[in-house]
Amino acid sequence: MSESGVAVSIFERIGGSATIDCLVERFYERMDTLAEARAIRVMHEADLGAIKDVLKRYLTEWTGGPKLYSVEKGHPRLRQRHFGFAIGDAERDAWLLCMRGALEETVADAAARQDLDKALSGLADWMRNRP
């Protein structure tokens, strides 16, 4: 809550677009270089430019910032959009390894970082589509 009693979005708490941009850059940098992430890196295009832009738009909207994703893509239907990729515990863990490192490097506010980590962990769990 802010002083006026209005709920403050995670987007604002972490520092808005500048932080989301860095977070996504660091996330894919880690996916691109960490051996533990190789299995999920190969699911992606060789050129990560397009997906970086999509994830920035998605996270902006999902954290309570401007609706940059749905204006272009409609309802996220994120789980359905991942059905084409085999995601089990190992893939979820690799994704979260990249994301946690990126969060530590880019989100200075520890409480906001923890909240975001928790919410993203839930989302990554939900994305699993293999036993």
Q: Which residues bind ligand HEM (CB under 6 A)?
A: 40, 43-45, 51, 54-55, 58, 73, 78, 81-82, 85, 87, 91-92, 95, 120, 123-124, 127
The nearer residue to ligand HEM, 1 or 106, going by C-beta atoms, is 106
Cβ of residue 33: shortest distance to ligand HEM, in angstroms?
16
Q: Which residues contact 75 (CB under 8 A, 6 or more apart)?
A: none
The nearer residue to ligand HEM, 68 or 91, going by C-beta atoms, is 91
User: CA end-to-end span of the chain, whole Å?
Assistant: 39
Q: Is 117 left (phi over 0), alpha (psi -120 to 50) or beta?
A: alpha
Residues 16, 66: Cα–Cα separation, whole Å: 10
Cβ of residue 3: shortest distance to ligand HEM, in angstroms?
30
